[in-house]
Structure 1
Amino acid sequence: MAEAARKKRKSVDGGDGLFDRELDHLPPEARWREWMNRVEATIFAASEPVGRDTLARIVGKTCSIDLLIDDIREELRGRPYDLVAVAGGWKHLTRPAYADAIRTAVGASARAVDLTQSEVLVLMCIAYFQPITRADLSTFFGKEISRDLIGNLRSRGFIASGPRAPQPGAPYTYVTTQAFLLEFGLETLRDLPDREALEDAGLLSKEKLLAGDIMPELAGGQEELGLEIDE
């Protein structure tokens, strides 16, 4: 029996090249606590959101990742940070209430980057109408969308090249990236503000964009879109 326990410990430590996900030698409560600790430590150590498939490698095959996350978040309820579902995974993020304190302490912007109003509007259109070409964006806004603006969004990692458009010359289209989801606190594109609701409010309409009538309404409705812009 002692030898079996020793082998279990060796397996957990990785000494024999194995990793004990199931932890069958532990009582249920201790097993659950160890799984919670593993998940929280992995997310804490990662620089990017950690997905479900990654977390499944370190817990038992019958373990519910969602229930583990719920229990971790419950323990973090009184802490200045939380475990947030974002960009297809989970990440430790500080709570918005402490943004001013963090900014004052370290002298950094509350956001990693600041975007101009034009960049926010173009990024929003790409998010809702992707994959989309630069020519289509120019048509939407009634003026040319510069290569520099697109290049700036690309350099920040918010957009990437999508499939070639079925048009003469097969121009590139643009799509949003995981970095876009992370920056705006979205788990997936399904978490964007409801398109129909925005259209009903007069804040988003492809027809109005094509007619060049949307800019004033969007400029006045940025708060409802949930996007912060640099004035």
Structure 2
Amino acid sequence: MAARSTKTRRDNGDGQRPLLDRELDHLPPEARWREWMQRVEATIFAASEPVTRSVLARVVGADCNLDLLIDDIREELRGRPYDLVAVAGGWKHLTRPTYADAIRAAMGGSEKAMDLTQSEVLVLMCVAYFQPITRAELSSFFGKEISRDFIGHLRGAKLIASGPRSPTPGAPYTYVTTKEFLLEFGLDTLRDLPDFEALEDAGLLSKEKLLAGDIPMGIAGGEDDGEDEQPSVGLVDDAM
């Protein structure tokens, strides 16, 4: 729990907390910048989820350039075992990959990344690049039935969610990636996905390679998934 500041918690006599002085005009420029850096880093450190630009703007002055401020914080963290990383639409403190083995050893493996099969990664890749996409479209792409159980497992891991109903006959659900997907793969937005055409041109990815994945055969079902849940909003990137 963050320590309480006597100054910031003292009310104005009318039961209202005083507004935070964001501009800090009484401080010289260097001291003002330093205070903004510390406020931003403290806010990100205290948060359990990535902190967005709009949230950080609440603790700095109107003329503060948050991108430059973040750059200065990251420069100071250069020699530390953790960094400030843009992920899932905000910023978050993340440990550097080189210390992953040490963290797993200390935490008894509880901090290891989500255990995904090759099949799950391949399906997730298709959802990420071609969302919103239906289960039937996924099955058609791989030439194999993608079962409801398979989709349900990815939904249970919160890596995909139901998107809007497809305009195709039967109005099946589509699927989209989620904020948890971005966090799991260290992406800020879907724009950070490697360019699909560039991967194909480089020979690193092709439909044939995707089809080579061991996608399990599911139980055949009608195109109308018959799911009762309401569609939830996924992170469909307009640029994709």
TM surpasses 0.5: yes
Match of 2:11 in 1: 15
Q: Deviations over 1:184-224 (max 9, x none)?
A: 0111111111111111134444xx46xxx7422x68xxxxx
In the alignment, the residues of structure 1 paired with residue 54 and residue 10 of structure 2 have an alpha-carbon distance, to the nearest angstrom, of 20
- On the 8 A contact 1:86/1:182 being kept in 2, the answer is yes
Say whether the 8 Å CA contact 1:131–1:174 is kept in structure 2: yes
Q: Distance in 1 between matches of 2:10 and 2:122?
A: 50
What amino acid is aligned across from residue 26 of structure 2 in structure 1?
A: H
Is 2:145 the partner of 1:144? Answer: yes
TM-score, with normalisation over the residues of structure 1? 0.83
CA shift, 1:13, in A, is: 4.7
Q: Deviations over 1:113-171 (max 9, x none)?
A: 11011111100000000000001001111111111111111111111111110111111
User: 2:104 is paired with a residue of what secondary structure?
Assistant: helix
- Deviation of the 1:19 alpha carbon: 1.5
Q: Deviations over 1:89-119 (max 9, x none)?
A: 1100000110111111111266431101111
Q: Which runs of 5+ in 2 are unaligned?
A: 1-5, 215-240
TM-aligned CA distance change 1:27 to 1:13, over 3 Å: farther
Instruction: Quote the residue 1:226 is aligned against.
Output: none
Q: Deviations over 1:24-78 (max 9, x none)?
A: 1111111111110110001001111111111001100000001110110011010
- 4+ long deviations beyond 4 Å: none
Distance 1:131 1:204 in 2: 21
Partner SS, residue 56 of structure 1: helix
Which amino acid counterpart does residue 129 of structure 2 have in structure 1? Y
The separation in 1 between residues aligned to 2:132 and 2:106, in whole angstroms, is 40
TM-score (norm 2): 0.80
Task: Give matches, 1:37-116, under 5 Å.
Answer: 37-108=38-109, 111-116=112-117
* Residue 225 (structure 1) aligns with: none
Q: Distance in 1 between matches of 2:120 and 2:210?
A: 15
Match in the other structure for 2:233:
none
| SS at 1:170 equivalent | coil
Mapped to 1, the partners of 2:120 and 2:198 lie a distance apart of 23
- Secondary structure (helix, strand or coil) at the match of 2:71 reads helix
- Partner of residue 193, structure 1: 194
Please tell me whether the aligned partners of residues 133 and 174 of structure 1 are also in contact (alpha carbons under 8 angstroms). yes
- Are residues 1:215 and 2:217 paired? no
Asked if 2 retains the 8 angstrom alpha-carbon contact of 1:85 and 1:187, the reply is: yes
Residues 52 and 92 (structure 1), Cα distance of their counterparts in 2 relative to 1, 3 Å cut = same
Q: Distance in 2 between matches of 1:52 and 1:74?
A: 19
1:130 maps to which residue? 131
Number of equivalent positions:
204
The answer as to 2:121 corresponding to 1:120 is yes
SS at match of 2:59: coil
Q: What is the CA–CA distance in structure 2 between the aligned matches of 1:118 and 1:52, rounded to whole Å?
A: 35
As a proportion of its length, which structure holds more helix?
A: 1
Q: Name the Cα RMSD after superposition.
A: 1.9
- Which residue number in structure 2 is paired with residue 180 of structure 1? 181
Structure 1, unpaired ranges of 5+: 1-8, 220-231
**Structure 1 pair 110–201 and aligned structure 2 pair: CA distance change class (3 A):** farther
